[in-house]
Structure formats: structure tokens, C-alpha cells
Amino acid sequence: MAQAVKKQAMGRGLSALLKDPENDIKSVTDKNADKVVGNIIELEIESIEINPFQPRTNFNEESLQELATSIRELGVIQPITVRKMDFNKYQLISGERRLRASKIVGLKTVPAYIRLADDNESLTMALVENIQRHDLDPIEIALSYQRLIDEIQLTQEQMSDRVGKKRSTVANYLRLLKLDPIIQTGIRDGFISMGHGRAIINVESHDVQTDIYQKIVSQNLSVRETEALVKNYQEGAKPKAASATRATSSFEVDDMEVQSINDYFGAKIDVKIAGNGKGKISIPFQSEEDFNRIIKLIKG
């Protein structure tokens, strides 16, 4: 208990330091920066603005109230993280639930780690921490992955290293964003699982996707039953000319297998088979870096 009181007193002391205009710390080379960066400091809640890069938009009200009750009884156990914007002005990087719950309780200050980071670092930290939460739905995770790709210019391989997930896992989440928006909403609301979504994504037509989605919900279909339904549709949708070609070929290519190769290489491959069973596989690449990435995957 004595140690906790000492840390709290230190945090308040550093808070007073930050309110001194003569100690306005803007970079790690400024005087007293070493006393601030990496330390827990009690910040006034009114001096903290919400991170505009926050990828999370839904907050469960019941869960928020439970956290508020815990904070009322025990205080904020895990500090939030902010970045310094201006004199006594900070922007939230991570910990919005803790900040919201602290406001509900009526706290005036909250323990915080202060970082000096540019917008890209701020966004990256917010997205990576957000992805690592356990209560996010698959679409929220997929959107966070996509933002890392679009706004931080990360490849899927770089992103998998950054978030500590297999590249195939990252690819599976990203593919969910190809689903019709109605189905994405269904996943977010828990009407269907990510497994259902992964099965539906193999159908290109959004109209057919939504038809299958309605059957899943109305008939309470399992993932395996959904996969069978999708396979039946795909076989029924193939033109007769394709059937004649398959008859003269020594084998046929399974669509699911091709999709798994697409996921592995992170590119849409092209498979062509002649009537004698011979053929070729083409793998497109977008840059020298992308080419080297594919070569690395081929070599294993």
C-alpha cells in the first residue's frame, strides 16, 4: 500500500511539473523529458481529447457501467496512454473505455502514460492495441487491419509481425470486408459467425450472398451446412461449357483450393488448364518488394 501511495504522489508531482509553462516538454531532448516519458502521471480528464484515429466505434453500455463500478471501488488499475499535443493538452492513444468509465464515476484526474509521437505512430499504437483486445467483433478487427494497410502503408506480412498474428489469419479477417454490408452487420451483431462469413465470401454476387445469409439466419445453419450450401450453388452456377471442358481434362480445380492459394500469397492467382491436363499458375505482384515477398513464400 505504501508503494502505491508513493507512486500516486509521484504522479501528482509530475503533473504539477507539466503545468509549469517553463517546463513545456515537446520532445525527448527537452529538459525534464526523462521524468515524464514512460512514467505514470495524474492528468486532468478535461485536458485529454479523444483520439480522432480511434478505430473502435461501439462501446457496450453494460460493460462500461461494470468498469465504472470497478473504478469507483478500486480506482483506475491500468493507466491510459496519451500523446502531448500542446501545453497541458493531450490526445488519447489508448484506453478510451477507461477514460469514459472514469468520467461516469466523476473522476477529475486519471493515471496516464505520456508519449511524444507523430500521427502515424499514434494511429499505429491505437490500432494495434485495439486489435489485441478480446471483445472486438471480427469486422472491427478487419477494419483495423485495413486501416493499417491504407494509412500506415503496411504489407500484410509486416502487419502480421506488428500485431503478432499469422499472415493467413490477417488475410482471413480482411476478406470479410468483401462481404455485402448487410452480412458484415450480421457478423457484428452476432447473427452469424466469422466462419459463416468465410464460407459466404466464396460467392462473388452480393445478391446471392444475402440470399444465403437469409437462409443461414432463418434455418439456423451451421458453418459446415453453409459451406455445403455455397458449394451446391457454385456447382449449379457453372456454365455447361465449363462441364464440357472438364470432361476432356485430366482433373478439375477446386475453387476453395484456389482461394486458399490466393490467401497464402496475398494475390489473386490465375490458373489455366488445357484439355490434356497441362496448365500454368500465374502469380501477379505489385512491386519489387511484393515480388521478393512472394519468392520468400515459395522458398518456404
Q: Of these residues, 44, 96, 151, 225, which one is catalytic?
A: 96
What span, in angstroms and rounded, lies between the C-alpha atoms of 60 and 78? 19
What span, in angstroms and rounded, lies between the C-alpha atoms of 261 and 294? 12
Q: Which of 70, 78, 16 is nearest to 42 (CA)?
A: 16
User: Residue 209, by phi and psi: left (phi above 0), alpha (psi -120 to 50) or beta?
Assistant: alpha
Instruction: Give 187's contacts (C-beta < 8 A, 6+ positions apart).
Output: 137, 138, 139, 176, 179, 193, 194, 196, 197
Longest C-alpha distance within the chain, in Å?
83
Q: Rounded to an integer, what is the distance from CA 224 to the centroid of its chain? A: 26
Contact 52, 119 (CB under 8 A): no
What span, in angstroms and rounded, lies between the C-alpha atoms of 180 and 203? 11
Quote the DSSP letter at residue 103. Answer: H
Q: Which of 48, 1, 107 is nearest to 9 (CA)?
A: 1
Contact 157, 293 (CB under 8 A): yes
Could you confirm whether 96 is annotated as catalytic? Answer: yes
What span, in angstroms and rounded, lies between the C-alpha atoms of 126 and 23? 27
Phi, psi values for residue 92, rounded to 5°: -70, 130
Q: What amino acid positions are annotated as catalytic residues? A: 96
